[in-house]
Amino acid sequence: MSTQLAVVIMAAGKGTRMKRDDIPKVCNPILGKPLIQYVVDQAKSLSASKIICIVGHQQEIVRETLKSEPVLFAEQLEQLGTGHAVLQTTELLENFDGDVIVLSGDVPLLQASTLAALLDKHHSGSYAATVLTALAADPTGYGRVLRTSDDLFDRVVEHKDAAADQLNINEINSGIYVFDSKLLYSELPKVGNSNAQGEYYLPDVLPLFQAKGKKVGVEICETFSEIQGINTVDELKTVEAKILSSQE
């Protein structure tokens, strides 16, 4: 099992529904602590040898927020999708040999135990990539995880690209993954953008792995709220309430 681990945090988005244009979404405070700090703390809990934050919108504020943290930065100047975002870390990780975990900068409730379980599944199955999924009561807006006839991972279909029967699937992609680094950076440049959004989706690298005969694993997160992102002020308040409740 590789002992090398890098963590990539996606934090380049604008967060237009947060009703604040003076700071990027990931710098909105939760109980006095910036949202992005919760995710950096998740990365630090894994004792990663590299932590890379992908920045874009108002990146100087994110950089200043994390100036005391052991974080490297990659720039995504155009918002062309999650695959394009991770591609911007190539220079920092092209010589890295190990696992790369991809986290979302707006998902603060993810537990260290969940990340440990994700890594355990990845290693125990000798997978080239492992996807963290969850079962959603209302999967609207999330990418759906499609399974094969023998219940193995097939692919992810984004909500806007999903057929009517696929929209009924309630297993969703959390946007959190672990990859074999060498394979990730060899295949990621091949991902296209033939979809409703015209974006380069990170999960579209997974079929490229499978085409090479590599296996993709799935770890289901036990608690859906752990993987919920924050896109609105109401969602921010809900997360604050959950953190306060957990501290009682």
Report, in angstroms and rounded to the nearest whole number, the Rg of the chain calculated over CA atoms.
17
Active-site residue among 17, 20, 63, 147? 17
* 28-32, Cβ contacts within 8 angstroms, sequence gap of 24 or more: 28/230, 28/236, 30/108, 30/236, 30/239, 30/240, 30/243, 31/240, 31/243, 31/244
Catalytic: 17?
yes
- Residues shown for the chain: 248
What DSSP string describes 102-154? EEETT-----HHHHHHHHHHHHHTT-SEEEEEEE-SS-TTSPEEEE-TTS-EE
- Enzyme catalytic residues: 17
